[in-house]
Amino acid sequence: MTEKKETITLRETVAVHVRAWREIRGYCPGLYPCTALHSALQALTPYASIYLSAQLLNELAGPRRPQLLWRWALLLIFLTAGLNLLTQAAFRWQTALQDRYQVRRQRLYGDKLRSMDFADIDKAGTHDLLSQIRQNEGWADWGIHQLYLQFSQMTEGMFGIAGSVALTASLFYSKVPQTAGAFVVLNHPLCLGALFGFLALLTVLAPLFRNHASAYWSRYAEQARFGNRVFHAFSFIFGEQRRSADFRMYNQQVIARHYMADNTFSVGGQMHRAAKGPMGAWEAAAGALGSVLTGAVYLFVCLKAWAGAFGIGSVTQYVGAVSALSRNISLVIETVGTLRSNVPFLRTAFEFLDIPNAMYQGSLTTEKRADRKYTVEFRDVSFCYPGSERYALRHVNMKFRIGSRIAVVGENGSGKTTFIKLLCRLYDPSEGEILLNGIDIRKYDYDDYRKLFSVVFQDFQLLSQPLGSNVAGAAVYDRERAEKALVDAGFGERLASWPKGLDTMLYQEFGEDGVNVSGGEAQKIAIARALYRDAPFIILDEPTAALDPVAEAEIYSRFNEIVTDRTAVYISHRLSSCRFCDEILVFDHGSVIQQGSHSQLLAKEQGKYAQLWNVQAQYYTETE
Ligand code: ADP
């Protein structure tokens, strides 16, 4: 991988950060004003103490008037105490808002994922982008969150500059007395100009050097991101329970260690070489300039005090204020540099957030029918996956009779799952149309339409949550219905054996008392989840794949009870399980090549169904 240098203009830097701010402001109102208040107090409080201590010292080293000494001492104590109190109060408030923001800002990408077209969610590229965004954030808060960090620094820097300018101004106009001999030269405008120019140069150069160093982060962004992904992928898997047997048997840690060692961040890696070489050199130069600046300020201020321009107390004020001025100017310049380095990371974030929604969102509400009389019809439907030229479905015509049981069979890759995805409107047909009660499904409100279907996908996922919450998809639910759904799905006996019943925690992500269920048990829970939803259509994709033959036979024998008056669509590889279905669709290369009942299809001896049946029957006979 080569290093990448892209032009980043100030204009783009400002534009993308303004957009970043707009994206997140709704997630935590009040955070930015509160942060600005805290930064202002944080920046200005030290100046109160610098100024008042200087007055106190001047009085002590000069006239020593008791009344004035008291005044400065009390002011110093109460004002700094008051300001510190306010700073802490603002900090508490800011911390509370920040905690809320940390939780809420995660929603930005989740909300986008939920609202984007399923076709985009299904793309590997989308997940890659999201993974890049997460890696960038995890590695050094690059991306949208960086704006918040820099905002807080920037406001502190700006207020710091204002405070230190106020305390420094008199350094330049307080004159050395004419009796001071050669020191009078310190009053000369040229001398002041030269000093001012020198300090300004150092102040600007130091952060520029630092920005040169930090630019390596964005220059190596691609490699660093990859390195970070490798690190994440391999560093935590050693502890994963599900992998422990493979690790033990195949000694997989060797390969994991290999990738961990050969990483961008490892010794000898690109970031390591940059840190040892140019990146480190720029940082060191910036540090050296800072020391030269402090030395120059001390020299000038002490010379002026020596010559009698001001008292000893003012020395502490000026040295403190000029150093703070330089530090704050550097901070602001560095912030601008960091924001600039952040631009490529924001580009990635916006590439994800800008994925367009191309699917038509209808507004019709689906009729709420207690009799579940919904008819769905595929009319000459063809479909190509985005980016593919091959038809996954070709001229499919099909009408679902209300309350019927339809089996969908066919070899792998014949289009069965695609057919279901179109039926649930996860994708829209490329040609033809799908109708619900005679109306194109695109005209219905998307969420409303999806609620008509309960689906158990092959790769369903349960959460590490109590059993009942998994079934109901909610924390508060109808316990009686959840129990009935589990019993209907064949999970009754197991449920009865668990002392905590519906409250039994599944899996152990939240503690040791979680229960690990087998693949077959998980499938029953997933079926119960589909039943709980009580939609007019129930779709089961290979519903018994993970069940043992006894459990499978049990599900079939009670299939009618489970499905009741719903229209059921049932994808299966095992043809023996389709016999009880009213209608069987045989898919082949994206087309429905046969349609009919089990006996009708079996009667056509040369047909695909009979062919598949005979192959499977032979297998069972041989096995027996
Ligand atoms: P089945 O469920 O019968 O095994 P699918 O409906 O999953 O078949 O697949 C039908 C065809 O579409 C196959 O050729 C498959 O490779 C292709 N396909 C499936 N999913 C995608 C996808 N997300 N992108 C591109 N092609 C896909």
Closest CA relative to residue 345, chosen from 210, 207, 208, 220: 220
Q: pTM here?
A: 0.76
- Mean pLDDT, residues 598-605 taken together: 89
Residue 6 has pLDDT above 70, yes or no: no
CA 397 to centroid of ligand 1, rounded, Å:
19
Q: pLDDT tens, 401-452? A: 888 889 999 988 999 999 999 999 999 999 999 999 899 999 999 888 988 9
CATH, domain 22-220+264-353, list 1.20.1560, 3.90.1580, 3.40.50, 1.10.10: 1.20.1560
Binding site membership of 410 for ligand 1 (Cβ less than 6 Å): yes
Closest CA relative to residue 419, chosen from 456, 385, 446, 393: 393
Ligand 1, atom 24, residue with closest C-alpha: 385
CA dist 301 and 316 (Å) reads 9
Per the listing, tokens 């905590």 go with: 500
CA 119 to centroid of ligand 1, rounded, Å:
13
- Mean pLDDT, residues 105-119 taken together: 88
Binding site membership of 348 for ligand 1 (Cβ less than 6 Å): no
R_g (Cα) of the chain, nearest Å: 36
Q: Determine how β-strand 567-571 pairs with β-strand 405-410.
A: parallel
Q: pLDDT tens, 495-532? A: 999 999 999 999 887 877 888 888 888 888 998 999 99
User: Phi and psi of 379, rounded to 5°?
Assistant: -115, 105
The answer to whether the 22-220+264-353 and 461-534 domains have the same CATH topology is no
| Domains of the chain, residue spans | 22-220+264-353, 221-263, 461-534
Q: Determine how β-strand 405-410 pairs with β-strand 583-588.
A: parallel
Per the listing, tokens 């019993």 go with: 487
Write the single-letter amino acid at 127: H
Ligand 1: atom nearest CA of 410 is 3
% of the chain residues with pLDDT over 90: 37
CA 392 to centroid of ligand 1, rounded, Å:
6
Is 551 or 173 the better-scoring residue by pLDDT?
A: 173
Binding site membership of 122 for ligand 1 (Cβ less than 6 Å): yes
Closest CA relative to residue 335, chosen from 197, 156, 200, 198: 156
pLDDT number for residue 621: 56
Binding site membership of 386 for ligand 1 (Cβ less than 6 Å): no
Output the DSSP codes for 49-109.
Answer: HHHHHHHHHHHHHTT--HHHHHHHHHHHHHHHHHHHHHHHHHHHHHHHHHHHHHHHTTHHH
CA 442 to centroid of ligand 1, rounded, Å:
22
Q: Provide the mean pLDDT of the chain.
A: 86
Output the DSSP codes for 339-374.
Answer: HHHHHHHHHHHHHHHT----S----BPPP--TT---
Residue 4 has pLDDT above 60, yes or no: no
pLDDT number for residue 85: 96
CA 411 to centroid of ligand 1, rounded, Å:
11
**Inter-CA distances, 525 with 74, 323, 346, 499, Å:** 72, 67, 41, 17
CA 414 to centroid of ligand 1, rounded, Å:
8
pLDDT number for residue 370: 63
Residues 555, 547: contact at Cβ < 8 Å?
yes
Is 579 or 494 the better-scoring residue by pLDDT?
A: 494
- Assign 81 a pLDDT band (cuts: 50, 70, 90): very high
Structurally, at CATH architecture level, domain 461-534 sits in 3-Layer(aba) Sandwich (3.40)
Ligand 1, atom 15, residue with closest C-alpha: 413
Binding site membership of 418 for ligand 1 (Cβ less than 6 Å): yes
CA dist 525 and 530 (Å) reads 9
CA 391 to centroid of ligand 1, rounded, Å:
9
- Assign 623 a pLDDT band (cuts: 50, 70, 90): very low
pLDDT number for residue 624: 40
Provide the CB-side half-sphere exposure for 273 (13 A, CA): 8
% of the chain residues with pLDDT over 70: 95
- The preferred substitution site among 409, 417, 572 for testing ligand 1, maximizing ligand atoms within 8 Å of CB, is 417
Q: pLDDT tens, 190-211? A: 988 898 899 889 888 988 898 8
Please tell me which of 9-23, 160-174, 218-232, 537-551 the model is most confident about, judged by mean pLDDT. Answer: 9-23
- Mean pLDDT lowest among 76-85, 253-262, 330-339: 253-262
Residue 264 has pLDDT above 90, yes or no: no
- The preferred substitution site among 418, 426, 458, 586 for testing ligand 1, maximizing ligand atoms within 8 Å of CB, is 418
- Assign 614 a pLDDT band (cuts: 50, 70, 90): confident
- Assign 591 a pLDDT band (cuts: 50, 70, 90): very high
Ligand 1, atom 21, residue with closest C-alpha: 385
Closest CA relative to residue 599, chosen from 563, 575, 620: 575
- Mean pLDDT lowest among 264-268, 347-351, 361-365: 264-268
Binding site membership of 416 for ligand 1 (Cβ less than 6 Å): yes
- Mean pLDDT lowest among 63-67, 267-271, 317-321, 541-545: 541-545
